[in-house]
Amino acid sequence: MIARNPFAELAQSIPSLLMQMFVLTMIALVIIGTLFDIIHKKNVKYFFENAKKAKKQAKKELSSSKKSSVILKTVANEILTTSELGKGKRRIAHLLGMYGTILFWITSVLMIFCYTQANSITPPLYPILWHVGALMTCIGGYWFWFFLRVDVSAEAHPWYRIIQADLFVLSLVLTSTLALIWSLLQYSNIAVWDTLFFGLFCLANIILFGGVYWSKFAHMFYKPGAAIQKNLAEADGSRDNLPEPSNEPKQFGLGIKREAPKHY
């Protein structure tokens, strides 16, 4: 099962062109939803205005090489490895979900656009990575949902309490879960259930990519920009108009170290 391209099997009943159009439609929904989110919340406008303000408050001017160094360091540490989450369970769950999703999406596009035509042979690596990516997303997502969410772990809300902010993580995890179930049913040649779960898989994708405006999907694009801007502000001394950290914290007692950090 894990080495089979489920989209190649699907191409026997659904034209590959239709699958490709579905993928392009999902990409278009992300772009449109993000643009509406930018217009409504004015995030990009805030970033640009904040950058101008920081430039005026800067205590030193950064050279191009220094700016590049700060940006590369931010990408390597905070974006690619999510170092701001520390060395804990949240970081592991986040990395599993992030890289699992990237694997799942990239291999989906490759298999749909390159290996659904007649007589095409899918390299076993792609479907293996597709299944592994979906599984990684499920592990990271369910781990976060049941045990690591702030409102569950720190505020004692039940895990089944759902609010609008949960739309992204829920639809993301459900998409991967339904993909794995659909692949298993297709491999087992259970036609009726196979069709049902493929339909649910498509619906979950529509909710995930079509719900960008109402979910936290667009945060994936904002967070890298915010992290880069924050580190540039620290490097040029503007620090978003905040004071520098105290260099003598011990004289004030244990503070938050009295308990394990669970409040985010």
CATH number at residue 36: 1.20.950
The whole-angstrom separation of Cα 106 and Cα 217 is 17
User: For 133-155, what is each residue's pLDDT tens digit?
Assistant: 999 999 999 998 888 776 666 66
Give me the torsion for CA of 66, 68, 73, 76, rounded to 10°: -170
The whole-angstrom separation of Cα 112 and Cα 104 is 12
189 found inside a domain? yes
pLDDT of residue 247: 61
pLDDT of residue 259: 62
Query: Does residue 89 have a pLDDT over 60?
Result: yes
Hey, is 70 helix, strand or coil? helix
Give Cα 173 to chain centroid, integer Å. Answer: 11
pLDDT of residue 57: 73
179 found inside a domain? yes
In terms of average pLDDT, the best of 61-65, 155-159, 161-165, 197-201 is: 197-201
* Beta carbons of 192 and 200 less than 8 angstroms apart: no
The total domain count for the chain is 1
168 found inside a domain? yes
Confidence of residue 172 (pLDDT cuts 50, 70, 90): very high
* Beta carbons of 16 and 117 less than 8 angstroms apart: yes
259 found inside a domain? no
Quote the DSSP letter at residue 216.
S
User: For 9-34, what is each residue's pLDDT tens digit?
Assistant: 999 899 999 999 999 999 999 999 98
Query: Does residue 214 have a pLDDT over 70?
Result: yes
214 found inside a domain? yes
- Please state which of the ranges 79-93, 183-197, 204-218 shows the lowest mean pLDDT: 79-93
User: For 181-206, what is each residue's pLDDT tens digit?
Assistant: 999 999 888 878 889 999 999 999 99
260 found inside a domain? no
Q: Domain of 159?
A: 6-54+85-233
39 found inside a domain? yes
